[in-house]
Structure formats: C-alpha cells, structure tokens
C-alpha cells in the first residue's frame, strides 16, 4: 500500500507469522507487541516515550488519514520499535499535515507493517497476554524463517533510554507562578504543556537525579512523569520519591503513580495486556464522578497492598484496577491515567489545577 513491493513480516513469540506490506524504515526490530484502541491520535502515540521497547498496534484499522503535523509531538522522536496497522492510508489530507506516516517512520528508522488482520492479533494478545514480537520490512526475496524472536521486555530499564540527560526548563514562573520539578521517566510533552499553561515554570530533570539535585532547584512541587517499563526495578527512584514526598507536594502520573506506590511500600504487578487507549472509564470514589481517560500502561498498583498512609481514590470501571490514590496526610496524590490526554479526552485536566492549588496552599 505504502510503496509497491515493500513487504513486511510480523513474528510473534508463539510462532504466529503474518505477512503484509511494509512501510517506514527498512529494518528488523523487536519489542513487546501491545495494542492501543484510541481512534484518533496515532501521532501522539507514536511519539509517546512510554512505548519504548514496544511494537505498537493500533486497533483502528485506518491510520495515516490526516498525516503528521508539526504540533502533536509528545517527544522528539518515534518511540515504539515498530508500528502495526490494518490499513495505512496511501495519501493524507489535513490543513496542518506536513508529511505522511510512512515518511515519518522512515525518518526515525522505525519499520511498519500494514494490510494484516490486526484484530486477530488483538484477540490473541487478549487471551494469551502481551508477548515479544519481531517486525521486519524487506524487498524482494527474504527468508524470514531464520528470524527468531529473542527479545525480553521484563527486567529492562527503558527509563534510562528515554529520560533527559540534563535538566531542561520550560515556561517561566510569573509573580504568582510555581516552580515544578518534573522527574522525567519518559515524559509526554503534554504534561509539560499543561503545567506551563497554568503559569508554572517546569524544570524537567533526569530520572537518576538525586534528592539534593532536585531540591537545589527549590521546587514548589514535584511531578513524577509517565514512562516505560517495570516500576519495581527502579529501586533508587523509590527512595528518592519517598524522601521528596516528606517535604513537597507530589503528583504522580502513570509510571510516576506506580513508583509512588513502591516508594510507600506498595506494590505493582504486570497486567495481562494492560490498558492502552482513550476510552477507559474511571470512577472517583468520593464523588461518584466518571471520567473517560487516556491510558497507556502494562503494570498496575496492587490493591491488596495499599501503600502506607494512602487510600485508593479512583478505580477503573471495566476491571476495578487502581486508577488513583492520595496520601491521607501529605499533599501527595497520583493517577494511573493521563490527565494531559494527548491523545484522548480532556475530562481530567482539572487534576493539574489541583496540583497547582496544592503548591499554592503550601
């Protein structure tokens, strides 16, 4: 579809092999195969650092219709290691579009496959769970029988790959503005944008920053960002967070939420196939309000081991998983979902207001 003659194959760890048409870069790539059910927002998903180490499948069969624009970047590159769609649009048409998905992926060296039964793969993942896969694009004869899926997602520190190497500052705090240190585990720019829009100065620091380094910025609050991988292995950050939470308002998002749980002796587990999409209903227990949320995670906080001093404030209406928690005394709270949306519904943006208020109340 994208370019005549380019072929691709997707191999799964269980031996499943699907052949389709290739697009993007000519490459062989491995990662954990996950699916996202959001119907718009492929550009934001493709640039979301939480997809590091993964091959992303979009369940919406039509991808690329409105191309790629200059605005909807969540980071400065394509993050997943491969892209799987049912039907990549050979053309695109939108007033903001600057290039197509094919060219975009090629520029960032990421291979894609189109024309395959993606729903079959979704159903497989739903029953068997996420699994490692290999995506190869090629021209002409190619013996993919020799290829082997030998990738292992678990135990890898993907945060190291995506975090900023040195502090970066966004926005300026005006007279009443607050300074936020955002610990970057793979942050989506949407989070930064929301804080800046609320008059905050945001200092994005590396995930490996020490307590002292962070405190040296004199933050009014700490934001724990989203990011890829298993929160349990990031033991150093658990300690850092625990320490910071004693003295600062803290807002955790996604991986940041899971790390916060670990910091307070809670625990996380790997879900069968996670939550990735823009339609997850979350109930706020106290108010009975429902928000439709954007989510992208493969691990979740264990409700059986509620972190010390915390209570569960939000649950997922589909499967009752933990979606949010807050400390009973400290100004510390977190959500599993993405209040910055991008892509997805804007139902939860007031959480940033809440964080700003917490900083102001201090």
Partner 1 sequence: MAGTKKVLVIGSGPIVIGQSAEFDYSGTQACRALREEGVEVVLVNSNPATIQTDKETADRVYIEPLTAEILERIIEREKPSGILATVGGQTGLNLAMELHRKGILQKHGVEFMGTDAEAIEKAESREKFNVTMRSIGIPLLPGQIVHDFESAKKFAEKIGYPVIARPSFTLGGTGGGTAYDESQLKDILDLGFRLSATGEVLVEKSGIGWGEFEYEVIRDADGNSVIICTMENFDPLGIHTGESIVAAPVQTLSDRDNQMLRDASIRIVGAIGVKGSCNVQFALNQQTGQYVVIEVNPRLSRSSALASKATGYPIARVATKIALGKKLHEVKNAITGTSAAFEPALDYVVLKIPRWPFDKFSKSNRTLGTMMKSTGEAMAIGRTFEEALMKAMRSLDVKPPKAIRPQWHLNPATDQRLYAIFEALRKGMTVDELNKETKIHKWFLERVKGLVALETEIANTNQPLTPELLLRAKRNGFPDSLIANLKSMNELEVRSLRKKHGILPTYKIVDSCAGEFEAVTPYYYSTYEKENEAIPEAARKILVIGSGPIRIGQGIEFDYCCSHAAFALRELGIKSIMVNNNPETVSTDFDSSDRLYFEPLVFEDVMNIVENENPEGVIVQLGGQTSLNLAHRLADAGVRILGTQLEGIDVAENRERFRELSEKLAIPQPPNGTATGDGEAHRIANRIGYPVVVRPSYVISGRGMAIVNDDNELTAFMAGAAEISNGSPVLIDKYLDNAIEAEVDAIGDGKDLFIGAIMEHIEPAGVHSGDANIVLPPLRMSKEARKTIVEYSEKIASSLATVGLINIQYAVKDNKVYILEANPRASRTVPYVSKAIGVPMVKMAVRVILGEKLKNLKPSPRGKIFAVKSVVFPFLKLAGTDISLGPEMRSTGETMGLGKTFELAYYKALMAAGVSMKQAGNVPVAFLSLRDEDKKMVPELAKVLASLGFEVCGTKGTVEGIPGACPIPKIGQGSPDVLDTIRSRKVGIIINTPRKGGSSSTDGFKIRRAAIEQGIPCLTNINTAFEFLKALKELKDKPLEVRTVEEWIQ
Active site residue 200: no
- Of the pair 116, 261, the CB lying nearest partner 1 is at 116
- Of the pair 59, 267, the CB lying nearest partner 1 is at 59
What is the closest distance, in whole angstroms, from the C-beta atom of residue 317 to partner 1 in the complex?
Answer: 4
- Of the pair 44, 230, the CB lying nearest partner 1 is at 44
What is the closest distance, in whole angstroms, from the C-beta atom of residue 88 to partner 1 in the complex?
Answer: 11
Phi and psi (nearest 5°) for 95? -60, -25
For 39, 60, 249, the CA distances from 323, given in Å and listed in that order, are 22, 25, 19
- Of the pair 17, 362, the CB lying nearest partner 1 is at 17
What is the closest distance, in whole angstroms, from the C-beta atom of residue 155 to partner 1 in the complex?
Answer: 26
- Catalytic residue selected from 238, 254, 326, 327: 254
- Label residue 167 exposed, middle or buried (CB < 10 Å: 0-12, 13-18, 19+): middle
Helix (H, G, I), strand (E, B) or coil at 17: strand
**290-301/54-58 β-pairing:** unpaired
Q: Please state, in angstroms and rounded to a whole number, the distance separating the CA atoms of residues 63 and 85.
A: 7
What is the closest distance, in whole angstroms, from the C-beta atom of residue 158 to partner 1 in the complex?
Answer: 24
- Label residue 69 exposed, middle or buried (CB < 10 Å: 0-12, 13-18, 19+): middle
Active site residue 106: no
- Catalytic residue selected from 74, 201, 326, 340: 340
**28-36/54-58 β-pairing:** parallel
Token pair belonging to 43: 């550009």
Active site residue 338: yes
Token pair belonging to 246: 């004693």
- Write out the residues near partner 1 by the rule CB under 8 A: 18, 35, 37-41, 43-44, 59-62, 65-66, 69, 71-72, 86-87, 89-96, 116-120, 122-123, 126, 277-281, 283, 288-290, 292, 317-319, 341-346
Q: Please state, in angstroms and rounded to a whole number, the distance separating the CA atoms of residues 294 and 345.
A: 7
Indicate which residues carry an active-site annotation. 254, 338, 340
């Amino acid at each position: 579809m994208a370019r005549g003659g380019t072929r691709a194959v997707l191999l799964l760890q269980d031996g499943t092999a699907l052949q389709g048409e290739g697009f993007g870069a000519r490459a062989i790539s491995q990662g954990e195969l996950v699916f996202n059910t959001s119907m718009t927002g492929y550009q934001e998903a493709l640039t979301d650092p939480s997809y590091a180490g993964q091959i992303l499948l979009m369940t919406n069969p039509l991808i690329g219709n409105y191309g790629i624009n200059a605005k909807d970047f969540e980071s400065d590159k394509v993050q997943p290691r491969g892209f799987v769609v049912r039907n990549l649009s050979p053309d695109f048409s939108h007033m903001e579009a600057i290039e197509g998905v094919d060219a975009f992926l090629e520029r960032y060296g990421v291979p894609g496959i189109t024309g395959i039964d993606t729903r079959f793969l979704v159903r497989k993942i739903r029953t068997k769970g996420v699994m490692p896969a290999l995506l190869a694009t090629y021209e002409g004869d190619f013996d993919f029988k020799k290829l082997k899926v030998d990738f292992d997602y678990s135990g890898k520190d993907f945060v190291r790959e995506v975090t900023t190497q040195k502090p970066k500052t966004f926005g300026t705090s005006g007279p009443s503005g607050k300074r936020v240190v955002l610990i970057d585990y793979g942050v989506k720019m949407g989070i930064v944008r929301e804080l800046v829009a609320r008059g905050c100065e945001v200092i994005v620091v590396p995930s490996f920053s020490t307590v002292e380094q962070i405190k040296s910025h004199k933050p009014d609050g700490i934001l724990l960002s989203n990011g890829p991988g298993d929160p349990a292995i990031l033991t150093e950050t658990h300690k850092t967070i625990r320490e910071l939470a004693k003295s600062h308002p803290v807002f955790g998002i996604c991986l940041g939420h899971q790390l916060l749980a670990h910091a307070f002796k809670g625990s996380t587990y790997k879900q069968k196939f996670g939550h990735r999409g823009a339609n997850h209903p979350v109930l706020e227990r106290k108010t009975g309000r429902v928000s439709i949320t954007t989510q992208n995670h493969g691990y979740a906080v264990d409700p059986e081991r509620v972190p010390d001093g915390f209570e569960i404030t939000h649950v997922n209406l589909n499967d009752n998983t933990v979606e949010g928690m807050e400390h009973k005394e400290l100004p510390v709270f977190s959500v599993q979902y993405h209040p910055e949306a991008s892509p997805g519904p804007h139902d939860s943006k007031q959480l940033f207001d809440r964080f700003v208020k917490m900083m102001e109340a201090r």
